[in-house]
Structure 1
Amino acid sequence: MSMLRKPLPAAFRINASCQFYQDICSQLENDFRKSLESEVSDDHEKEAIRPLAWYPGNLAWHLNFSRMQLRRNQALESFHEFLKQENEVGNITRQEAVSMVPPLFLNVQPDHHILDMCAAPGSKTFQLLEMIHQSTKPGVLPTAMVVANDVDVQRCNLLIHQTKRMCTANLIVTNHEAQNFPGCSLAKFCPEACAESKLQRLEFDRILCDVPCSGDGTARKAPDMWRTWNIGMGNGLHRLQVEIAMRGIGLLKVGGRMVYSTCSMNPVENEAVVGEILRRCGDSVELLDVSNELPELIRRPGLRTWKVRDRASWLGSHNDVLHYRKNAILPSMFPSGKGTTDSCTVGGSVEVNINAVDADMNESGDMVEGKEETKIATSDSNNGDNANTEEIKQDESESVKVSRGSDEKTDSASIVTEHSNLPLHRCMRIIPHDQNSGAFFIAVLQKLSPLNESLVVEVMKGERSTSKDKALKCSNGQGSDTVPAEEISVQQPGVDDTHVLVEQQNRDMDTEISKDKSSEEAKVVAGEAQNDQATRRDKRKTQNQGRWRGVDPVIFFKDEATIRSIVSFYGIKDSFALEGHLVTRNPDTNHVKRIYYVSKSVKEVLDLNLKVGERLKITSLGLKIFERQSSKEGSPCTFRLSSEGLPLLLPYITKQILYASAIDFQHLLQYRIIKFPDFVDAKFGEQASALLQGCCVVILREGHEDLESIGMDPSAIAVVCWKGKTNLCVMVTPMDGRELLERISFRFGLKIPKVDDGKPDLKSDDGSDEQPDGGAETVDPDCVPESKASEDMDISDVKDTE
């Protein structure tokens, strides 16, 4: 407990695929590691910063300072600014140390298809992207692919922002309920295309199943957890966790590996879920023993026996559960997974009975069962463990107070605790006081053979749904692929079932009232509804909606005239595949603003998605490589290069290239706009003046290397610029420019002179503005979002705990 009360030390991970990986490692070892030693205040720690021994390649670093100390300690200001800047541009990722563990046990390979089922906010997704790019050469795309999914729209936006720093063409971001993630089976939706399609259905070699949890393992990072946590949080999420994990197993290839993880210490959310997976899947799934992997990571074996806490009582088996609580406390929560004879079970889990309403997540609410009404009152408590008092009111005339153990049960019945015969000791528990970290649970599962399809369909039914139509579809063997997103109703964790019933009653009452209205009133209402619909249509008039409302469709870019213009202007080699790899989110080629590049693996998934009727709700994908840019002076090519896509495209460009000395490159980043005569190297200024007007690439000339070899080197330091009539203008964000300036200054030992805060003169001698429209100095075109439509997406807002 004393360790839990201490602030959590910060941690970060270096992106080994970034261009300045070696420079950052050198700066940490030679500068910060020594200069910060005097700031260590923990008696148990001698070093201010140190690499985590268990993380491969010394890429992850442990700081003996909390996030609060980094913000408030003046002596740490320069180091804090370093962390913020490098994190913003994607060279490092600030992430809790134990949160980095689950992706390591996936054993990702460069050719794997990977699914992150509950990906937001995106730190683990970024880690997976690092892994697939780390083993490939710069400028070469791996054949692997990552699909990052999250149910919450706003958290998807955070996920997109986080992964955008990676600049990858091997990523798809989707917005689905994890337990209903579509399988996109060709045999089911488009059987006539099976013969000609390489990809028959969406399956994955590796799946990260980091499910929503109560988050009690994050108490050091989020001290408010001490005040808000209660036992009902874990119990209420157990069913959803099983559903998500089972859906993951269904999407896993035979021989594939899935990691199930939570940031909770509650066995109901951990070993109980893994045990239920093993019982449902039988010999098709194996819980792997990974004790020989990451040997320097201190971990403890999983539990094989535990009790379940329900309000004020400890329960040793499902026999100890009160009758009216059996729909809330499931048999799968216990070590044996066995239910009582009076429980109605389907596939190992208790069916939801809408007439037995229970406030699992809030630990308070009203229960209606037959003619009886049970009112549950909880006393205030920081940890939610104080005893509850139950008042049973019958016929609204008398009330009888009973203790928690009534209904023919007493607390003494919980003395006998079940013991699981499953190999749950192969699970891993990371405990805060073992290595000064947070808490985490990890289980590694491998699929040995195909599952019984009835098991997967049963899980995909959604046990909480009370919709008769949806239940009918599921009973006919239809999975989530056949249910449109608009028809899926997701109950938020923490929402009282009584509230759901009251809303349903109110809707029914409104329906009856509407039937009694006069015909004139009905016409008025209908007219207003039509006007509202017309208004919404006008707002989306310029947007092709595709299958998903509020989401721009994914369109393969096939405008041959535009592609020829781009290839000719930049001299792109034929060896760089463009056909079938360019996509956009606007079907009108005359108004396309951004063109994205996707890898071969992503292209195959997009082809499959189109054939099955766009089952995937894609919010973001690919790497922005070209962007429309207008200029007052005009340009032979209307599309400029994107700074995000430049590292991929650089080895294949043969035109519009300049090679600058270190001092001129530094000045260009520092002042952002320089007139041709003002360059230190006069020859460089003449070469810049001779270029065609429009976008160009300036490459740093290190020493006296052969210029052609520099351009062919994908690791060369380069920046996108705009060549005007009289000057050269940098087309990168101020943040990226400042970080790049500091990197080359560190590498070449250059000093960064201070400049005035005022903006440099943007006008040429004749008074004309040489910048492209939008002004690269004041407007960052790379930061403009693709579409505002995501803000209007109609989907359930389900929150989870990181």
Structure 2
Amino acid sequence: MTPSAAMAFVTPAAARPRADVPFGQVVRSGWQGPATVKQGSSFGHAATSERQLGHLLVGLFVAAVGASRLKRRRAKLEPWTDQSNMQFEAYYLQQGVCPAEEWQHFLDSLRTGLPIAVRVNLGSHVAAQLVEQLERLSSLRGDQLSALAPRKLPWFPRSLGWQWDELCGLDLRKDEQHERLRAYLAWLKDHGSLHRQEAVSMLPPLCLDVQPGQALLELCAAPGSKSQQIVDMLHWPQNSEQNVSPDAVSSGGLLPRGVLIANEVDSKRARVLSREVGRLCSPCFAMTCHDARYFPNLTDSDGSPFLFDRVLADVPCSCDGTLRKHAGIWDKWSVGSAMTLHPLQRKILCRGLALLKPGGRLVYSTCSFNPLEDEAVVVAALLRRHGGYKVTLVDLPHFEGLPAGCPGLQTWVVPHPKDAQVCWRTGAEVPEELRRRLLPSFFPPVAGSEEAAVWELQHSRCQRFLPHRTNGGGFFVAVFEKDVGLDVSHELSKVHDENDDVGPTNPGKQDEGLEGRASEGNDIFLGSSQQESVQQTVPGQSLRQVSDLEAVATDDSAWLEAAAFFGLDPGLACHLRRRQGQDTHPRQVLFWVSELAGRFLASRARCGGHVSSAGVRVLQQLGKSFLPGTPRWRVLQEGLPLLLQHGLKRRIAVGMSFMKRLLHARELEVSELHAGVEAGLLRGLDSLMEDPSREELEEEPLRLIPGSLAVTLLPGDQSATPSAGPEVAVAAMLSGRSLTVFASVEEVASILYCLDLEARTTALYSGVASFLVKHGATYASPLKDFACLVGPRAVTWASAKQRFRSVFLIQAPWALVPKEVMISTLESGVADLRGHSALAPELSHECGLGKLSIQLMTMSTIEDPSALAELFAGVEQLSAPVLTMLLDVPWLALAQSGWPIFGLLSQINVRK
């Protein structure tokens, strides 16, 4: 590579240095443009000093780093050109991880892109609406649109899991046709409505059998997709019907008592995790930063051990099950990574079992096919003693419609560290010079031994999911249960692990190879002679609280002031926490945590606190100069749903158009609030008054008490956004003159997105149709209206849609046919629809897109703009009809109620 070519990797083309500029000058100060250069100092001449040579080497290093980064970036974005690795194929063929008759299908599937899968968060404002729309979109048919039709994952409860079988991440990023779908999914993900998550990755949390009153621990939680799923599952309604509609979730239901402790040792990944799970605004979440191998023993406030009902150990692995998503693994795969990771995985699994309650359940999972990371780790943990408790493998829950996985291997081979094609079945076969490099736990139990008999009975309970069967990635899952036996305190007083020799919070001895334990052979699993006792506590040693969050007393003066102002029950203090020492702080923040989250935060450990976040912020005290004479507490947007569920009194309810206006403007005059009351667009203003019993509302606006409040939608307007979780609401601040939104730009955008979800879905697929027209595609039949595929009037609406398309010239999008033809077509279409009562007020199964089409067509026939005003009714009459269409004013002329009008707006402008 020439120096100029090397610099091209790290320097934008427009800013690359000229050939006559010394390379050392570029490295020292960066390229700033043309410069005067001394004669004979160009890069082509030999370096004449040690300093110049040093600059040259630094520059070449920088260029090499840039080239390496670019290569890695291209490996992610572009299809791998040589999707093969002889070591990989030879090793796994010998291991037998896939039935021989399916081997070629297995390899072929690994060379295709990974389908996009999403999971709807049931606690989202729009969960029910989003599931309904995905159901409609799944019925799309046709050569051009079949790739855009998602498939419901039948094994995922409550119709919350979906997958686009014909669409991979690379297609979504690079294909212009999918630009709107990409933006649509990104918006929903950013606002916590759904999450992009590989389908098989959803299985481990489901195997936990999460219940709302449990304490759960995820030992390796980043980047957060499983954590988000578990937190969402904690809020699921618990009933026997696993496939109930999202409508069954009650916004006023009791909050779960449980908590998920998500642990991540890497601080950067922990921040990503916190951001992902934080979108759910759940009080049932706390995050810690520990090495999972040494997660501390916890002591409850009463002195008893704090153990977990469920533990998820989704451990770091070699990730060769993600080849469909990360094609670069083909090039760098080797068995060495599995051998390096095996001790780490084993220690994490054993630590998780030590922290598990008797009778509890632990799920171990990897996205690797390698038995050294899967079965070898499981059997090492299964056959050891856990403080006197026995652990067993149990069958995975039955998921209706999930393709069968392959049972765990009873025996496997251990490869040469540098040559995957050379393997051994027992430690005795390993050459002397390699014995120190291979751990005894790499090998399966020796045939005929007691350990082999135990493993023979249980190995089939593990499951390895293969990509060609599930049309997803590769995954390995094993479910442990700890039998109820000895006293619980015995579990933490002794941690027996002759393989690990590691205490609860501190590293122990390093793993030894075969040579160090040659006398043991492979019988390393059940032996107890080397058991080492590790005390949880040392007499006289003090324990420290794991978090700096302290409980808020019921009689705390600051809390009582806030409770009285907002009409909250003072007893809710049991859910509240604040930073230690903030009881007198002028800007203290109150956090809401669940019952078990509170117990965890009050627990103690030798290593002290590594809790980086917990619960939901609900209230904040403002500075003393803010609105003097009134309580200085404000409601925080993320905690608003919790306070509403628990009786927040300072709240007003507004209509849909009023809510949108407030969110867009972010501030409205107090006089507009009184006008809204008179027009029937606002209720609850008396909750903000000094004396709600007085009825002289119109006399003095200043009678309103300034301070924080909640703005919600009127009950009648909730139908526009069916709410499966907390109601749509925004935090605001009332001053003497105005009402101001007190939420971030991102939070406001999230609410607006929920309100406009139906319109965004319509725009998504109309945009796809426009793309097809633009590129000369033709339709074999009229484009099916995705919103009208079910229901009694589906045929009628399909006919209306066909008429609508005939009005415009398909060869020149949005160009009108002659006026006479258009009017004749529209009149007959509207008459036909009225004859079939297809324009009745909208029902859940009826067609929104078809109604929108008819509305716009009818408007196109009106010559006089002033005539449009007669078609609108309500308190907000605007002089500009086109602007009125942007608001959600009912189109009463067609007996249509409440459908938003915004689309094909340019065509209406042409007519006016």
Bin for the TM-score computed over the shorter chain: 0.5 to 0.7
Aligned to 1:569: 565
The alpha carbon displacement at 1:478 in A equals: 3.3
Deviation per CA, 1:691-743: give whole Å up to 9, x if none. 322211112113399xxxxxxx9843221111133222222232332332233
- CA offsets per residue over residues 632-656 of structure 1, 9 Å max, x none? 5446122211111111111334532
Distance between the aligned counterparts of 2:479 and 2:121, measured in 1?
25
Give the equivalent residue in structure 2 for 1:218: 322
**Unaligned regions of 5+ residues in structure 2, if any?**
1-106, 239-249, 512-529, 689-700, 719-723, 759-841, 843-847, 853-880, 884-912
Q: Please state if 1:98 is matched with 2:200.
A: yes
Within the alignment, does 1:719 sit opposite 2:714 as a pair?
A: no
| Structure 1 contact 301–427 (Cα < 8 Å) conserved | yes
Q: Is 1:149 matched up with 2:263?
A: yes
Contact 2:258 2:595 in 1 (8 A): no
Q: Which has the higher helix share?
A: 2
| 8 Å CA contact retained: 1:238, 1:268 | yes
Shift of the 592–106 alpha-carbon distance from structure 1 to 2, 3 Å rule, reads same
Distance in 2, matches of 1:594 and 1:77, equals 41
Is the deviation greater in 595-604 or in 453-462? Answer: 453-462
Structure 1 position 290, deviation (Å): 2.7
1:597 aligns to 2:592 (yes or no): yes
Question: What TM-score do the two structures reach when normalised by structure 1?
Answer: 0.67
Q: Which amino acid in structure 2 is aligned with residue 103 of structure 1?
A: P
Count of aligned pairs = 586
Q: Give the equivalent residue in structure 2 for 1:692.
A: 705
Segment of structure 1 superposing worse, 10-19 or 276-285: 276-285
In structure 1, what is the equivalent of residue 117 of structure 2? Answer: 11
The Cα RMSD (Å) is: 3.7
User: Do the aligned partners of 1:427 and 1:441 also contact (CA within 8 Å) in 2?
Assistant: yes
Report the Cα offset of residue 437 of structure 1. 0.6
* Paired residues for 1:95-494 under 5 Å: 95-135=197-237, 137-139=250-252, 140-185=254-299, 197=302, 200-281=304-385, 284-290=390-396, 292-294=398-400, 296-310=402-416, 311-312=418-419, 313-336=422-445, 421-448=456-483, 449-450=485-486, 453-456=494-497, 458-460=501-503, 462-463=507-508, 465=510, 477-478=533-534
The 8 Å contact of residues 222 and 272 in structure 2, kept in 1 or not, is answered as yes
Secondary structure at the aligned position of 2:235 is classed as: helix
When structure 1 is superposed on structure 2, of 263-272 and 52-61 the one drifting more is 52-61
Matched-pair contact (CA < 8 Å) for 1:286–1:447? yes
Q: Distance in 2 between matches of 1:29 and 1:735?
A: 28
The structure-2 alpha-carbon separation of the partners of 1:87 and 1:337, relative to structure 1 and needing over 3 Å to count, comes to: farther
SS at match of 1:102: helix
1:22 matched residue in structure 2: 128
SS in 2 for 1:3: helix
Conserved 8 A contact 1:14-1:91: yes
Conserved 8 A contact 2:377-2:441:
yes
Match of 2:522 in 1: none
Matched, 1:554 2:663: no
Q: Which residue number corresponds to residue 621 of structure 2?
A: 628
Tell me how far 1:616 sits from its aligned partner: 4.3
**Contact persistence 2:123–2:725 (CA under 8 A):** no
Cα pair 1:308 1:316 within 8 Å, conserved: yes
- The change in CA–CA distance for 1:104 and 1:628 in structure 2 (over 3 A counts) is same
Q: Structure 1 residues 433-442 or 222-231, which shifts more? A: 222-231
Displacement after TM superposition at 1:48 (Å): 2.6
Distance in structure 2 (CA, Å) of the matches to 1:129 and 1:211:
19
**Cα pair 1:331 1:337 within 8 Å, conserved:** no
The answer to whether the 8 A contact 2:544-2:609 is kept is no
Instruction: Tell me how far apart the structure 2 counterparts of residues 616 and 35 of structure 1 sit (CA, whole Å).
Output: 55
Partner residue in 2 for 1:664: 658
Aligned mates of 2:370, 2:395 — CA distance in 1: 21
**C-alpha spacing 1:418/1:238, structure 2 compared with 1 (3 Å):** farther
Q: Shift of residue 593 of structure 1?
A: 4.0
Mark the CA change 1:754 to 1:256 in structure 2 (over 3 Å): closer, same or farther.
Answer: farther
Question: SS in structure 2 opposite 1:280?
Answer: coil
SS state at 1:287 partner: strand
Q: 1:634 to 1:552 in 2, by over 3 A?
A: farther
Counterpart of 1:729 (choices 740, 744, 758) is 740
Question: Quick one: distance in 1 between partners of 2:882 and 2:137?
Answer: 22
Q: In the aligned structure 2, how far is the partner of 1:463 from the partner of 1:175? A: 20
Q: Could you say which structure has the greater relative contact order, defined with CA pairs below 8 angstroms and 6 or more residues apart?
A: 1
How far residue 579 of structure 1 moved from its aligned partner, in angstroms, is 3.8
Alpha-carbon deviation of 1:77?
A: 2.4
Q: Please, which moves more after superposition, 435-444 or 83-92?
A: 83-92
| 1:646-665 equivalent positions in 2, closer than 5 A | 646-665=640-659
Q: Is the 8 A contact 2:495 2:532 kept in 1?
A: no
Distance in 2, Cα, partners of 1:36 & 1:161: 39
Q: What is the aligned partner in structure 2 of residue 581 from structure 1?
A: 576
1:55-74 per-residue CA deviation (whole Å, 9 max, x = no partner) reads 11221110231222222323
| Conserved? CA contact 2:502–2:509, under 8 Å | no
Q: Is the CA contact 1:316–1:418 (under 8 Å) kept in the aligned structure 2?
A: no
Question: What is the match of residue 670 of structure 2?
Answer: 676
CA distance in 2, matches of 1:635, 1:262: 58
Q: Secondary structure at the match of 1:421?
A: helix
- Equivalent residue for 1:642? 636
Task: Write the deviation string for residues 742-777 of structure 1: whole angstroms up to 9, x where unpaired.
Answer: 3334579899x999xxxxxxxxxxxxxxxxxxxxxx
Kept after mapping to 2: 8 A contact 1:217/1:439: yes
Q: Is the 8 A contact 2:317 2:373 kept in 1?
A: yes
- Checking the alignment, whether the CA contact within 8 Å between 2:637 and 2:747 is kept in structure 1 is no
SS at match of 1:423: helix
Q: What CA distance in whole angstroms lies between the structure 2 residues aligned with 1:674 and 1:581?
A: 32
Q: Whole-Å Cα distance in 2 between the matches of residues 704 and 106 of structure 1? A: 38
Counterpart residue type for residue 379 of structure 2: G
Greater Cα radius of gyration, structure 1 or 2: 2
Q: CA deviation at 1:229?
A: 2.2
Residue in 2 that maps onto 1:703? 716
Correspondence list, 1:52-63, <5 A: 52-63=153-164
Q: C-alpha displacement at 1:476, in angstroms?
A: 7.7
SS in 2 for 1:261: strand
Q: How many Å separate the matches in 2 of 1:94 and 1:293? A: 21
Pair 1:606-2:719 in alignment: no
Alignment of 1:525-540 (within 5 A): none
Query: Secondary structure at 2:716's aligned position in 1?
Result: coil
Cα shift at 1:482? 7.3
- Displacement of 1:335 after TM fit? 1.2
TM-score by length of 2: 0.59
Letter in 2 for 1:164: G
Offset of residue 125 of structure 1: 0.9
| TM superposition shift of 1:3 | 1.3
Mapped contact 2:575–2:594 kept (Cα < 8 A): no
Q: Percent identity?
A: 30
Question: How much has 1:7 moved relative to structure 2?
Answer: 1.2
Structure 1 consecutive aligned stretches of length 4 or more whose deviation exceeds 6 Å = 337-340, 480-483, 747-751
Of stretches 168-177 and 329-338 in structure 1, the one that deviates more from structure 2 is 329-338
- Change in CA separation of 1:634 and 1:297 when aligned onto 2, cut-off 3 Å: farther
Tell me by how many angstroms 1:286 deviates. Answer: 1.0
Aligned to 2:754: 743
Contact 2:396 2:478 (8 Å CA) reproduced: no
Please give the secondary structure, in 2, of the residue aligned with 1:200: coil
* Whole-Å separation in 1 of the counterparts to 2:882 and 2:480: 56
